[in-house]
A and B are shown apart, each in its own frame.
Chain A
């Protein structure tokens, strides 16, 4: 069974204080690793898909990287509007469903 573990559970940052979120996974044949942002009371918003080890993707202050065992979401010089829960999910070879981690709740203080 595919498993996804995210750490830390919560992260409090000062505005401008860069940091990284971790997503460790075990999956039978990774077809894709997804990062989402979720604001309170809303559905997850797609950020990135990574398909193979060594791949990197960027969007504004966010950069996602992938190795064979984990993915990192780097937040560079965060702003208060980056406060959200960030979810990681994996898509394995066996079917089309995604397995989600519990998420990391990021709070950025001005």
Chain B
């Protein structure tokens, strides 16, 4: 158990819909990262938050957005869903946000039908 908690574990939704994925970082970690992993694909960095502020943005679509709340949990919002958005979405966290190990949650499986 990495200490990073993600919900829901599995989600099936229809095209055009909107979903929210939730992440609670490890106790004491200020930085949260979101990654997308499609079938047989690598880990694509989406976005990073540090202590409530957006720190870095990767290949995140405009239909996707995220935020980190004062209690440091984070949410990833995916809207106008397409079939190609079906993937495993990982949240990860670490303390300082740079040059340190990140710890992954178990992921949220999203299936768009």
B is a partner of A: no
